[in-house]
Amino acid sequence: MPLKLGFLGTGAITSAMVKGLCSAGGERYAIRLSPRNAETAADLAGRYREVSVATSNQAVVDESEMVVIAVRPQIAEHVLSELRFREGQNAISLVSGYSLRRVSGLVAPAGRVTRAVPLPSAAQRRSPTAMYPRDEAAVELFALLGTAFAVDTESEFDALCTATATMAAYFAYADAAASWLARNGIPQTKAREYVAGMYAGLAGAAVEAPELSFHELAADHATRGGINEQVLNYLVEHGVFQTFSEVLDAVMRRVSAASR
């Protein structure tokens, strides 16, 4: 029998998780969606036979063994305070800034509570998902969506959450390279395609060589006297990476304060 999996909140991450789970095959989960975002919920239910839309948030909780809480932090406490969970349920919170203790209090008496941060790449089953604490059912779920990274402390979890704050900057960096190419005569669509392919290849190289640190990979790609070394040295000399580290420290302080 498939495990009954419910989602409170039907936004982008819920949509990505559902698409990834349904593409994994095997029908391991019978998925119930919150009706809150009716258009998205109806689209997913129409696309996948293992997905259906519940009549209310309470119905999602009542009809699920595992409940994924994917509502915005601004409304999470209000939403959860109106719901009745039961003993034996597994609650997985994707709510940014809500500590394990805070979520546990809101979903009591559900005794198995996990925090997790799946990424949009869950739709392609390529998400590295940070989670705390380790729960085997949650690990099994997120392993279907990529790789489950279970850590031992909430501080470690907060650090992994902080690292996700670099995603927008990554695309801005890629945009800077593509825009420079466009200014130098490369058609914009070709510039984007070229930069995306180049960085995809670099990501693949890192995944395929886990024995090499990123520092070692940078050195391998910075031929002495070459143009990669020139760019790298310029960025180092102008404190770009130091600034990058400092802003991550600031984000970590924000994440940790919100989790307390």
Closest CA to 149 of 121, 197, 108, 117: 117
163-188 pLDDT tens trace: 999 999 999 999 999 999 999 999 99
Taking residues 154-162, report their average pLDDT: 96
Determine the pLDDT at residue 202.
97
Give whole-number Cα distances, 23 to 64, 68, 233, in Å: 21, 18, 44
Closest CA to 99 of 157, 166, 149, 141: 157
DSSP annotation string for the chain: --EEEEEE--SHHHHHHHHHHHHT-S--EEEEE-SSSHHHHHHHHHH-TTEEE-SSHHHHHHT-SEEEE---HHHHHHHHHT----TT-EEEE--TT--HHHHHHHHTT--EEEEEE--GGGGGT-EEEEEES--HHHHHHHHTTEEEEE-SSHHHHHHHHHHGGGHHHHHHHHHHHHHHHHHTT--HHHHHHHHHHHHHHHHHHHHH-TTS-HHHHHHHTS-TTSHHHHHHHHHHHTTHHHHHHHHHHHHHHHHHHHH-
Taking residues 216-232, report their average pLDDT: 97
pLDDT band of residue 259 (cuts 50, 70, 90) is confident
In whole angstroms, give the CA distance from residue 64 to residue 205. Answer: 40
CATH class of 165-259: mainly alpha
Determine the pLDDT at residue 145.
97
Predicted TM-score (pTM) of this structure:
0.91
Closest CA to 57 of 91, 83, 87, 85: 83
| CATH, domain 3-152, list 3.20.20.70, 2.60.40.1760, 3.40.50.300, 3.40.50.720 | 3.40.50.720
Q: Is residue 111 scored above 90 in pLDDT?
A: no
Domain ranges of the chain: 3-152, 165-259
192-204 pLDDT tens trace: 999 999 999 999 9
11-67 pLDDT tens trace: 999 999 999 999 987 778 999 999 988 999 999 999 999 999 999 999 999 999 999
Determine the pLDDT at residue 252.
96
How many degrees, rounded to 5, is the angle at CA 126 between CA 121 and CA 131?
A: 85
Determine the pLDDT at residue 25.
79
Determine the pLDDT at residue 1.
86
Instruction: Say how many residues make up the chain.
Output: 260
130-149 pLDDT tens trace: 999 999 999 999 999 999 99
Determine the pLDDT at residue 208.
95
pLDDT band of residue 161 (cuts 50, 70, 90) is very high
The percent of residues above 90 in pLDDT, for the chain, comes to 93
Determine the pLDDT at residue 13.
96
Q: Which two tokens stand for residue 128?
A: 């590295």
Determine the pLDDT at residue 88.
87
Mean pLDDT estimate for the chain: 95
The alpha carbon of 113 is separated from its chain's Cα centroid by a whole number of angstroms, namely 18
Rg (CA), the chain: 21
93-103 pLDDT tens trace: 999 999 999 99
Determine the pLDDT at residue 24.
85
Q: Count other C-beta atoms under 10 Å from residue 46's C-beta.
A: 10
